[in-house]
Structure 1
């Protein structure tokens, strides 16, 4: 009987160790899956950032171009007003 008790105790310890190992493996797989999800989210954030940076650059270019056009229109209006004043003063 003592041998059977020792064997039962050893089998119980082995079962416990196996259950602990299975839990550790499950936790590792879960952590790895979560890590992959985080990496995917980081990639999406970087892609969004790059897209937004490009859109910002394009918007700044358009704003600068509009500012240049506005200055040119203002210059032409001043020239036209001066020409009209000159014609009216004659």
Structure 2
């Protein structure tokens, strides 16, 4: 009987070790899947950031262009007002 008990104990220990190994493999696969999901999310965030940076650059360019046009319009209005005043003063 002692040999049979030691075989049973060894089989139980082996089953437990195999179950532990299976759990470790499952956890590793889950961690790898989560890592891939995180990598994908990081890539999406970087793509969004690049798109937003490009849109910001375009908006800044447009704002600068509008500012230049605004200055030109103001200059022309001042010139027109001065011309009108000069005509009225005659």
Hey, what does 2:18 align to over in structure 1?
Answer: 18
Residue 57 of structure 1 and its aligned partner are, at CA, apart by 0.4
Whether 2:31 is the aligned partner of 1:2: answer no
Residue 89 of structure 1 and its aligned partner are, at CA, apart by 1.0
Give unpaired runs (5+ residues) of structure 1: none
Q: TM-score, normalised on structure 2?
A: 0.97
Give unpaired runs (5+ residues) of structure 2: none
The runs of at least 4 aligned residues of structure 1 exceeding 2 Å deviation read none
Residue 5 of structure 1 and its aligned partner are, at CA, apart by 1.1
Whether 2:51 is the aligned partner of 1:45: answer no
Hey, what does 2:86 align to over in structure 1?
Answer: 86
Hey, what does 2:70 align to over in structure 1?
Answer: 70
Residue 20 of structure 1 and its aligned partner are, at CA, apart by 0.2
In structure 2, C-alpha distance between the alignment counterparts of 1:40 and 1:80, rounded to whole Å: 59
> How many matched pairs?
90
Residue 4 of structure 1 and its aligned partner are, at CA, apart by 1.3
- Residues 48-89 of structure 1, C-alpha deviation per residue, up to 9 Å, x if partnerless? 100000000000000000000000000000000111111111
In structure 2, C-alpha distance between the alignment counterparts of 1:2 and 1:27, rounded to whole Å: 37
- Residues 31-53 of structure 1, C-alpha deviation per residue, up to 9 Å, x if partnerless? 11111111111111111100000
